[in-house]
Amino acid sequence: MTLRGAASIVGVFEHPLREIPDSTLTEIHADVAIGALADAGLTFADVDAYFCDGEAPGLGPLSMAEYLGLRCRYADSTELGGSSYLAHVGHAAAAIAAGKCDVALITLAGKPRTGGASPGGNRSFLAAPEADFELLWGATVPAQYALAARRHMYEFGTTSAQLAEIKVAASLHAQHNPDAFLRDPVTVEQVLSSPIVADPLHRLDCCVVTDGGGALVVVRPEIARDLGRASAQLLGHGEALKHSDNGRIDVTVTGAARSGPTAFDEAGVTPADVDYVSIYDSFTITVLETIEDLGFCDKGDGGRFVSDGALVSPAGRLPFNTDGGGLCNNHPGNRGGMTKVIEAVRQLRGEAHPAVQVPECEIALAHGTGATLSGRMGSVTLLLGRADA
């Protein structure tokens, strides 16, 4: 069964705050749900399916459905780290195609800045079967990404200056986003002069840590047409789990090498057809390796590909993360996949900031990476197409 055209994203909402000390996680979930449903022109009474990640309060979808007053006939709490919400879009489309539901609500909330779990600090992460073999020896999240960056440099001659180009592009976009956590444009030199966090990654190679949340509303195509506004139609969906395989791992290759081709095949398009990309940017190296593995350039050529403003919208060859991404705008709850979908939908609707809106944006790609490049990851790729009202 193909998911091409099986569902559309009709509502999106990103929490405007980056520090939310006075709200609980449950309240943030509710706030973003209200926003996304209002954006779609729907109500809680219309929702018959609910999706959240494994860190949602209480019993996940069961507790949250009760709190939100939902009468659901379908629920999903797939946990793939920061790529969970892209997986939820694909799973919602599959459930809709199978007749299991009509209107799916997907929510995310997190508070790492004001009392929530720090990156890699939640209880389930510490209890993972690999924890005794990795965390004991200092395998922090930045260190695991730094390992991938250093290996990529060794294998392909990638430089810190090339990685810095990714941060520069994100910062040039973030200056136009009034809600972005970091709004000041930076230069390559400023990235390289920022403190080393885990060699070779500098502080400005790393994503921000923010409170926040977001929500999506995914519906049957007939409902999308009846709502009478532009939406984002699902064209293709691919998922891949990559793990360390007991040490037999190439840290220069991500799960996108498998999830990407699956999504492109289902959509019937190629990388050359894509107008805009939302790429998970927990660190600059995440973006570089993902661009390679999705087929936008050959493996090892990512450093050259991202140089000279290639990622800057609208004139670059591959406009990316026009909200500022996780590197500058928002990484709510240490999970950036939700915002990747939200900005892709904005671009397809023509609702991004005019300074970064991609002209005639017809096909957008959103990609999420959960966990780490040098350990295990859940990779999910979505291809979305503009559907006019």
Q: Which amino acid, residue 309?
A: G
pLDDT at position 244: 86
Instruction: State the Cα–Cα distance between residues 344 and 274, nearest whole angstrom.
Output: 11
Kindly state the percentage of the chain with pLDDT values over 90: 90
- Is residue 370 within 8 A of residue 82, CB to CB? The reply is yes
Domains of the chain, CATH where assigned: 8-118+211-229 (3.40.47.10), 138-208+234-387 (3.40.47.10)
pLDDT of 134 above 90: no
Non-local (6+) Cβ contacts of 128 within 8 A are: none
pLDDT at position 122: 57
Lowest average pLDDT, out of 19-23, 116-120, 209-213, 285-289, goes to 116-120
pLDDT of 179 above 70: yes
Instruction: State the Cα–Cα distance between residues 214 and 117, nearest whole angstrom.
Output: 18
pLDDT of 282 above 80: yes
Say if residue 200 is preceded by a cis peptide, omega within 30 of 0.
yes
pLDDT of 115 above 90: no
DSSP class of 234: E
Torsion 86-10-112-197 (CA) sign: positive
Report, as an integer, the average pLDDT of 257-268. 98
Structure tokens, 374: 């040098």
Report, as an integer, the average pLDDT of 55-67. 96
pLDDT at position 118: 63
Q: How far apart, in Å, are the Cα atoms of 11 and each of 34, 83, 86, 107, 362? A: 10, 19, 15, 12, 18
| pTM, two decimal places | 0.96
Structure tokens, 241: 């789990």
Residue found by looking up tokens 């969970």 in the block? 84
Q: Which helix (H) or strand (E) holds 369?
A: strand 363-371
pLDDT: which is higher, 117 or 16: 16
Instruction: State the Cα–Cα distance between residues 40 and 218, nearest whole angstrom.
Output: 9
| Predicted confidence band of residue 265 (pLDDT cuts 50, 70, 90) | very high
How far the first Cα of the chain sits from its last, in Å, is 26
Kindly state the percentage of the chain with pLDDT values over 70: 98
19: number of Cβ within 10 Å: 12
Say if residue 178 is preceded by a cis peptide, omega within 30 of 0.
no
pLDDT of 120 above 60: no
